[in-house]
A and B are shown apart, each in its own frame.
Chain A
Amino acid sequence: MIITKTSQAGTLESNDIVVKLMPNPEGTIQINLQSVVFKQFGKQIKALALQTLENHGITSCICDLDDKGALDYVIQARIESAIQRNL
């Protein structure tokens, strides 16, 4: 599935994350991450986001993540909500 419009989910409160999905003209998944724990967990968060998007059948999007210390289940929930809002 290709993301064709912009959608967003999550908040900037502690332990949460803002996920913004946008169309990607290049036709790939591009993940941009800002995180309070980028140094420690940046790679894992990006990998989790990619895996979650792929699990939902997404093949093309720009995924901006603004993370405030969200745990994995929160990241997954917010990505899922952003996808739902894109349908």
Chain B
Amino acid sequence: MNRSYLFIPASNAGMILSSMILETDAIIFDLEDGVALNQKEAARTLLRNGLDTLDFLDKDIYVRVNAADTVFFKEDVLLCQHPKVHGIVLPKADMTSFLSLTKTLQPMKPTILLIESALGVVQLPQLCQASPHVIGLLLGGEDLSADFGVERTKEGHEIDLARKLVVLHAKAFNLIAIDTPYVDIEDHQGLKKEVRYAASLGYDAKVAINPRQVESIHQALQVDPKKIEEALSIVNAFEMNITQGIGVFNLNGKMIDEPIYRKAKQVVIKAKKEGHQT
């Protein structure tokens, strides 16, 4: 599963080129906020040529199109039919904009819904079930706080309810949960803290708005080696006990049962994926 999604402005030739070799797991080429209004068509042309030419290796390629109520939407969506585009990021997602997308993009592609309006948050249950092509939810804290008419703070209390609702719906409908960007690109400690907080809620990944944020995101999402050791001892003990018909037992003073085993197993699987010896 992707841990990082890096936004690359589709108008920037140098960044498109260098995105091939960046460490991010996935790239979101941005035709929306990252591109000036008078550069939209030129960015689309540049991106199309870049997709035709460059090899992005094993990275998932997404495109954030302009909002469904703009004149750029249709052409942006048509570009997403390009075979190298894995999926689409739909900004200001609500049922109306999603319907516009399904009418414009045939066949549909995997879609990440950018939840950045109060309406989008309220419509989460419908949006999550709107199509099997919906694969993920991305929280957009900046636009969301603007929609609420409140100040966006580093602590993020103004978006906390939405942050929890987004991950709740993602888990309920088996979708990827991607946390909002951290806009202070110099503050790596603050970024790591926010990534760990989002991960503690259940978020799977974080958006990066600068290549330098990617490493911090990956570091913050790594499994703690102490937890791997503990999880391994739980998994081994549970699997041994269960063969003898014992489903609940005491391990170093802690009660171990099926849910705790399952959580420990998840930690072990994640650690294996990260290349830890287990």
Q: Mark out the residues of chain A between 73 and 87 whose CB falls within 8 Å of any chain B CB in the assembled complex.
A: 73-74, 76-78, 80-81, 84
Verify A71–B53 contact, CB threshold 8 A: yes
Fill in one digit per residue for B12-43: 1 if any A CB lies within 8 Å of its CB, else 0: 11100100000000000000000000000110
Residue A63 at the chain B interface, CB threshold 8 Å: no
CB of A14 within 8 Å of the partner chain: yes
Residues of A within 8 A of B266 (CB): none
For the complex, is A62 an interface residue (Cβ under 8 Å from B)?
no
B244 within 8 A of A: no
Contacts of A11 in B (CB 8 A): 13
Count A-B pairs with CB separation below 8 Å: 46
A13 with B49: in contact, given A71-B17, A77-B42 (CB under 8 Å)? no
> Across the interface, which residues of B come within 8 angstroms of A73, CB to CB?
49-50, 52-54
| Residues A81 and B53 in contact, CB atoms below 8 Å apart | no
A10 — which chain B residues lie within 8 A by C-beta? 13, 42
Q: B52 — which chain A residues lie within 8 A by C-beta? A: 73
- Confirm or deny: A33 has a beta carbon within 8 angstroms of a beta carbon on chain B: no
Residue in A74, A80, A84 whose CB lies within 8 Å of B13: A74
Q: Cβ of B13: which chain A residues have Cβ within 8 Å of it?
A: 10-11, 13, 15-17, 70-71, 74
- The answer to whether A81 touches B41 (Cβ under 8 A) is yes
Query: Which residues of A are found within 8 Å of B54, using beta-carbon distances?
Result: 73
A9 lies within 8 A of chain B by Cβ: yes
B165 an interface residue at 8 Å Cβ cutoff?
Answer: no
Q: Does B232 contact A (CB under 8 A)?
A: no
Alpha-carbon separation in the docked complex, A76 to B13 (Å): 12
Contacting B at CB under 8 A, from A28-87, are 70-74, 76-78, 80-81, 84
Add 6 more A-B contacts to A13-B12, A72-B53 (CB < 8 A).
Answer: A15-B13, A15-B14, A71-B13, A73-B52, A74-B49, A80-B45
Which positions in B face A, CB cutoff 8 Å? 12-14, 17, 41-42, 45-46, 48-50, 52-54
A–B pairs, 9, beta carbons within 8 Å: A10-B42, A14-B14, A15-B14, A16-B14, A73-B53, A77-B42, A77-B46, A80-B45, A81-B46
Binding site for B on A (CB under 8 A): 9-11, 13-17, 70-74, 76-78, 80-81, 84
